[in-house]
Structure 1
Amino acid sequence: MSNAPALDPAHTALLVMDLQPAILASVPGGQGPEALLDRVGGAIADVRANGGTIAYVRVGFTEADWDAIPTTNKSFAPLAQHRAMHHRDPATAVHERLAPRDGDIVVRKIRYGGMSTTDLDQQLRERDISTLIVSGVTTGGVVLSTVIDAADRDYRLYVLSDGVADPDTEAHDVLLHRVLPSRAHIIDTTELHALLRAG
Structure 2
Amino acid sequence: MTTNTPHLDPSRTALLLMDFQSAIIASLPDTDQPLSRAQASLSWARSHDVQVVYVRVAFTAEDFAAVPAQNKSFAPLAQSGFLVDGSPEAALHESFDVQERDITVRKIRISAFASATDLRTTLRERGIDTLVLAGLSTSGVVLTTLRQAADDDFRLYVLKDATGDPDPEVHRVLTEKVFPHQAYVIDTDELGTLTKTA
Give the shorter-chain TM-score range: over 0.9
- Write the distance in 2 (CA, Å) between the matches of 1:164 and 1:50: 21
More helix by share: 1
- Which secondary structure does the structure 2 equivalent of 1:19 belong to? coil
The aligned counterpart of 1:153 is 152
Q: 1:58, 1:94 within 8 Å by CA — same for their partners in 2?
A: yes
Equivalences for 1:65-144 in 2 at 5 Å? 65-117=63-115, 118-144=117-143
Q: 1:169-189 CA distances to partner (integer Å, 9 max, x unpaired)?
A: 111111111111111000011
Say if 2:2 is the partner of 1:2: yes
Q: 2:55, 2:105 within 8 Å by CA — same for their partners in 1?
A: yes
Equivalences for 1:45-84 in 2 at 5 Å? 45-84=43-82
Deviates more, 1:137-146 or 1:89-98: 89-98
2:2 counterpart letter in structure 1 = S
Equivalences for 1:9-48 in 2 at 5 Å? 9-29=10-30, 33-48=31-46
1:123 is displaced (CA, Å) by: 1.3
Q: How many residues align?
A: 196
The aligned counterpart of 1:172 is 171
Q: 1:24-56 CA distances to partner (integer Å, 9 max, x unpaired)?
A: 000103xxx123221111111111111111001
Q: State the identity as a percent.
A: 47
1:197 is displaced (CA, Å) by: 4.8
Q: 1:105, 1:123 within 8 Å by CA — same for their partners in 2?
A: no
Unaligned stretches of 5+ residues in structure 2:
none
2:158 counterpart letter in structure 1 = V
Root mean square deviation of aligned Cα:
1.2
Q: 4+ residue stretches of structure 1 with deviation over 3 A?
A: none
Unaligned stretches of 5+ residues in structure 1:
none
- Write the distance in 1 (CA, Å) between the matches of 2:65 and 2:153: 33
Q: 1:6, 1:198 within 8 Å by CA — same for their partners in 2?
A: no
Q: 1:23, 1:137 within 8 Å by CA — same for their partners in 2?
A: yes
2:103 counterpart letter in structure 1 = I
- Write the distance in 2 (CA, Å) between the matches of 1:114 and 1:97: 20
- Which secondary structure does the structure 2 equivalent of 1:94 belong to? coil
Deviates more, 1:36-45 or 1:150-159: 36-45
TM-score (structure 1 length as normaliser): 0.95
TM-score (structure 2 length as normaliser): 0.96
- Write the distance in 1 (CA, Å) between the matches of 2:97 and 2:68: 32
